[in-house]
Amino acid sequence: MSNQRLTIFGSTGRMGQTIVRALAETPQMVLVGAVASAGSVSLGIDAGGEGGKTGVLVSADPSLALTEATVALDFSASTCLAAHVRACREAGVPIIVGATGYDAATRATIEHAAKDIAVLIAPNTSVGVTAMMQLVAFATKALGVGYEVDIAEIHHRLKRDMPSGTALALGEQVAAVRGQALENIALYDKKSRVGGRVPGTIGFNAMRAGDVIGEHTVLFTADGERLEITHRATDRMAFARGALRAALWLPGRPAGVYDMTQVLGL
């Protein structure tokens, strides 16, 4: 496998810094660009932060950061994502979208870019969560519509989007197997459940507390039994390793939209 040259958008955040550390385990990849917001106090300093020197300075210019890149990873704020995707399209650099909570307009920008470059959308880059998605699809098909579905998740107090991108992706997996659109059957507000549950709906429960990295559970419930499929993240390195695995896989792929299941060959 040839070496790849990586640019990280959101390089100063929790995931960005974890990916920088994980690069020490990935000799096939070298950091060549690091991007933070225009107001970041880290601009102009080494992207390694307190973790050590990388030789790459943090910049607010996406185009400059992509000059030498063969692939990009985005774990930035959702409001910055569209600009980063456009910059990758102009530079011809494939991108893994790890950012979540973006709006419909940004999704349209991603899909437009995917006509010219490879874009991998990964609301969760964990290999374990990718396997969980497949287990949820199997359970949904095997159990049928007679089972009620609920998705519960908890993250640290600073996480902005709610429900998480992973929780929504799990809901979309269930809805797709059932041949439905998630927006038509999702229940996000507990007040909407007063008076009894509507059959076929998917309930979401989200909590923000402490320093929890991330936990997701999908519950399939029927009279007399309950099946739970759970993933608990105890270290962000799990996400970073999966992200770098995707970053090694994506370069050279034809333009289009990809996901983590394809990275794992599932």
Domain ranges, ordered by start, for the chain: 4-121+236-263, 127-233
Mean pLDDT of 219-227: 97
Read off the pLDDT band of 19 (50, 70, 90): very high
What is the four-CA torsion angle of 57, 63, 64, 67, rounded to 10 degrees?
A: 110
**Using one digit for the tens of pLDDT, what is the confidence trace for 187-220?**
987 666 666 788 899 999 999 999 999 999 999 9
Which class in CATH covers the domain with range 4-121+236-263?
A: alpha beta
Which pLDDT value is given to residue 51? 74
Equal CATH topology for 4-121+236-263 and 127-233 = no
User: Which pLDDT band, with edges at 50, 70 and 90, does 249 fall under?
Assistant: very high
pLDDT, position 191: 61
Burial class (CB in 10 A: 0-12, 13-18, 19+), 179: exposed
- E strands, the chain, in order: 4-9, 29-35, 58-59, 71-74, 95-97, 118-121, 148-155, 186-187, 202-208, 214-222, 225-233, 256-258
- C-alpha atoms less than 13 angstroms from C-alpha of 167 in its C-beta half-sphere: 26
Answer for the pair 140, 200: CB distance below 8 angstroms, yes or no: no
The answer to whether residue 105 scores a pLDDT higher than 90 is yes
- Report the SS3 class of residue 122: coil
pLDDT at residue 195, rounded to an integer: 67
Q: 69 or 195: whose pLDDT is higher?
A: 69
Please answer whether residues 202 and 176 qualify as being in contact, where contact means their C-beta atoms are separated by less than 8 angstroms: no
Spatial contact of 44 and 57, defined as CB atoms under 8 Å apart: yes
Using the structure block, give the residue that is written with the tokens 């309950």.
226
Above 70 in pLDDT, residue 80? yes
pLDDT of residue 197: 80
Both tokens of 100, joined, read 């979540």
b/e sequence 218-251, b meaning 16+ C-beta within 10 Å: bbbeeeeeeeebebebeebebbbbbbbbbbbbbb
What is the fold of 127-233? Dihydrodipicolinate Reductase; domain 2 (3.30.360)
pLDDT in tens, 37-56: 999 999 999 999 877 899 99
Question: What is the C-alpha separation between 45 and 26, in angstroms, rounded?
Answer: 23
DSSP 140-207: HHHH-TTSEEEEEEEE-TT--SSS-HHHHHHHHHHHHHTT--HHHHEE--GGGGTTSPPTT-EEEEEE
Express as a percent the part of the chain with pLDDT over 70: 97
- Rounded to 5°, the CA angle 244-87-80 comes to 80
Taking residues 121-149, what's their average pLDDT?
Answer: 96
Identify residue 63 by its one-letter amino acid code: S
Catalytic residues: 155, 159
CA dist 31 → 47, 256, 265 (Å): 9, 24, 26
Cβ atoms of 95 and 247 within 8 Å: the answer is no
Rounded-to-10 torsion of CA 165, 166, 168, 174: 160
Residue 101 has pLDDT above 70, yes or no: yes
For residue 137 the two structure tokens come to 């699809």
Please check the confidence at residue 247 and state whether its pLDDT lies above 70.
yes
From 96, 138, 135, select the one nearest 263 (Cα to Cα): 96
Q: What are 20-38's pLDDT values in tens digits?
A: 999 999 999 999 999 999 9
Asked whether the beta carbons of 220 and 227 are under 8 A apart, the reply is: yes
Mean pLDDT over 79-103 rounds to 96
